[in-house]
Amino acid sequence: MATGYAAAATSPIRLSGHPDSSLRCRRWPSLACPGASGPESPAEGRGWPSPLPAAGGRPRRHSGPARGLQLRRGHPDRRHPARRRPGRDPGRARRHGRLRRRTRPVHHGYVFEVRADGHADPRPIRCLGRYAHEALAIDADRTKIYLSEDADGPNGLFYRWTAPRRVKLGPGVLTRLAPDAGVLAAMQIIMDDGSVLPDVAYLTSAQLGRPFPVRWIEVPERDAQTTTVREQFADDEVTRGRKFEGVWGTDQGVYVVNSYAWEDGDLPADAAPHDGMVWFYDYRAETIQLVTYFPHQTTSEEGTPAKYSDLTFDGPDNVTVTPWGSLVLAEDGSGASHVLSAIPGGPTYAIARNQLNDSEFCGPTFTDDGKILFVNMQDPGLTLAITGPWEKYLS
């Protein structure tokens, strides 16, 4: 299809497998949709636990990125840069005594609350810890929060915060809690011999769908005043992972993404490089399983286009659960960037490709009625609203 600015804003994007239907992208005609329809019944009879809703049901869309809480990115030990008004000379202002603040570091690495009406509370939520936050999801009971850490040297962790007794989460609740309220703990994936898996990269597609028991070990000092949180644990005490990224919760559990691990230092020397992993943690069973796996390909290292760019994916980042139980992933990898449809335990398809530039997609989410998929292009900073026969295509 046309990719220039002159293309019609609602030009149809045909889906292979659906000759009688189309998706329409409102606002920006820079997407191509090379995808194909998925199987009639995802992962039937494969023995997966049930992140997918029962017939006629839909996952509860109560949590995920940008739903009430904002994550402040950056290394928790970095200082806040001095704020500067355009056209002002900070040296002159300092000489006249108008810049006397910020004589001590302002720590980053906290979660902040931003409500749906746009009201923001500038107070950090210290009880959730200070580290390189990426995303979070709140469980259906509103008593636990699951948080990812995008960090390396050493690799980041996946966390669970448990509210104090008789506390239910809601607007303004977290900012009123004490800095040490509740319990912040890091994930341990337990192996058959009882040992802790030191890094998720030791598991591969051979373990797709296998549930592993999970334990949680409490963080000793969550505000990381002297030592970063992830460095407070020895490697045999927690399960690390390169680039813990998107998180999305359902009534049954929570999905979490690892984007990739293949460069030197990304993973243990004897682990398997990969181009992306998606996990599902089951609340009730307290198990985690690998549901989507992208094997490593050398094109990821070289940054060159794959021969079949709409069949070769890498670098999943943000994740959302569709109203029909399948997944939509935003890709931040090498070469072409896609919006992907993934069946837990099954195949992955391309929904859309960025034909404007090499910027990543981010923040996919559906309207409550499932009719519009919103997704962002990070550069040049666009939000796209894509309509179409989503139930037919993604269920």
> What is the model's pLDDT at position 87?
38
Q: Would you give per-residue pLDDT tens digits along the chain (395 residues)?
A: 332 222 222 333 333 333 334 445 544 434 444 333 333 333 333 333 334 333 334 444 444 443 344 444 444 443 333 333 333 333 333 333 433 344 445 678 999 998 888 788 889 999 999 999 999 999 999 999 999 999 999 999 999 999 999 999 999 999 999 999 999 999 999 999 999 999 999 999 999 999 999 999 999 999 999 999 999 999 899 999 999 999 999 999 999 999 888 888 888 889 899 989 999 999 999 999 999 999 988 766 666 666 666 677 888 999 999 999 999 999 987 778 899 999 998 889 999 988 888 889 999 999 988 999 999 998 899 999 999 889 988 87
Sheet holding 244-249, edge to edge: 133-138, 144-149, 158-162, 183-189, 212-218, 287-295, 274-282, 253-258, 244-249
User: Residue 203 belongs to what H/E stretch?
Assistant: none
Bridge partners, 158 (sequence order): 148
Judged by DSSP in three states, 394 sits in: helix
- Cβ atoms of 178 and 127 closer than 8 Å: yes
Given this model, what pLDDT does residue 124 score? 94
Closest among 271, 292, 127, 284 to 199, alpha carbons compared: 271
* Helix count and strand count (H, E) for the chain: 4, 22
Distance of CA 160 to the CA centre of its chain: 15
List, in order, residues 6 or more apart from 149 with CB less than 8 Å away: 131, 132, 133, 134, 156, 157, 158, 159, 229, 230, 244
How many residues would you count in the chain? 395
Which letter, b or e, does each residue of 187-214 get, where b requires 16 or more Cβ atoms within 10 Å of its Cβ?
A: bbbbeeeeebbbbbbbbbeeebbebbeb
